Amino acid sequence: MPLNKEIILAIDGGGTKTDLAAGEGNGRIDFLVSGPSTNLKSRPENTVKADLYRMLDSLFLESDYSKEAITAISVAAAGGDRLEDQVRWREWFLDYGIKPRDITVMNDCLAPLTAATKRKEGLVLIAGTGSIAYYFKKDGRAIRAGGWGYLLGDEGSGYDIGNRALRRVLESHDGRRKGGEALCASVLTHFGLEGPMELITYVYEANYPREAIAGLGRKVIELAEAGNDDALAIMAEAIQELERLLSAIYAADAKSRNGSLVISGGLFQSIFFRQAFESSIRKAGHQQAVILSHYPPVIGTYMCALLEKMDHISDEIEENIAKSWQAAKTIKIDGGLVDE
Please name each of the domains of the chain with its CATH number: 7-108+310-339 (3.30.420.40), 158-292 (3.30.420.40)
> Would you state the pLDDT for residue 336?
38
CA distance 29 to 16: 23
Q: What value does the mean pLDDT take over residues 56-68? A: 88
The rounded percent of the chain whose pLDDT value lies above 90 is: 48
Q: What value does the mean pLDDT take over residues 207-220? A: 89
> Would you state the pLDDT for residue 171?
93
What pLDDT, in 10s, does the model give residues 271-298?
Answer: 999 999 999 999 988 888 999 988 999 9
User: Quick check: 296 and 18 in contact, CB under 8 A?
Assistant: no
> Would you state the pLDDT for residue 15?
66
CA distance 131 to 153: 8
Binning pLDDT at 50, 70 and 90, where does residue 42 land?
A: low
Q: Is the pLDDT of residue 339 over 60?
A: no
- Residues 103-135: b if buried by 16+ CB within 10 A, e if exposed: bbbbbbbbbbbbbbbbbbbbbbbbbbbbbbbbb
Cα separation values, 253 from 110, 123, 142, 250, 263, Å:
18, 11, 10, 5, 19
Q: Is the pLDDT of residue 263 over 50?
A: yes
Q: Is the pLDDT of residue 102 over 90?
A: no
* CA 188 to chain CA centroid, nearest Å: 27
Q: Is the pLDDT of residue 259 over 70?
A: yes
> Would you state the pLDDT for residue 16?
72
Residue 76: closest CA among 268, 305, 290: 305
Binning pLDDT at 50, 70 and 90, where does residue 231 land?
A: very high
Q: Is the pLDDT of residue 130 over 50?
A: yes
CA distance 123 to 284: 18
Query: For the residues of 150-187, what is the DSSP string, one character each?
Result: TTT--TTSHHHHHHHHHHHHHHHHHTSSS--HHHHHHH
Q: What value does the mean pLDDT take over residues 183-210? A: 90
Q: Is the pLDDT of residue 166 over 90?
A: yes
CA distance 177 to 9: 51
> Would you state the pLDDT for residue 156?
96
> Would you state the pLDDT for residue 335?
52
Rg (CA), the chain: 21
User: Quick check: 216 and 235 in contact, CB under 8 A?
Assistant: no
The average confidence (pLDDT) of the chain is 88
- Which pTM does this prediction carry? 0.83
> Would you state the pLDDT for residue 47?
83
Binning pLDDT at 50, 70 and 90, where does residue 226 land?
A: very high
Q: What value does the mean pLDDT take over residues 309-337? A: 83
Q: Count other Cβ atoms within 10 Å, centred on residue 223.
A: 22
> Would you state the pLDDT for residue 2?
42
> Would you state the pLDDT for residue 87?
87
Q: Is the pLDDT of residue 338 over 90?
A: no
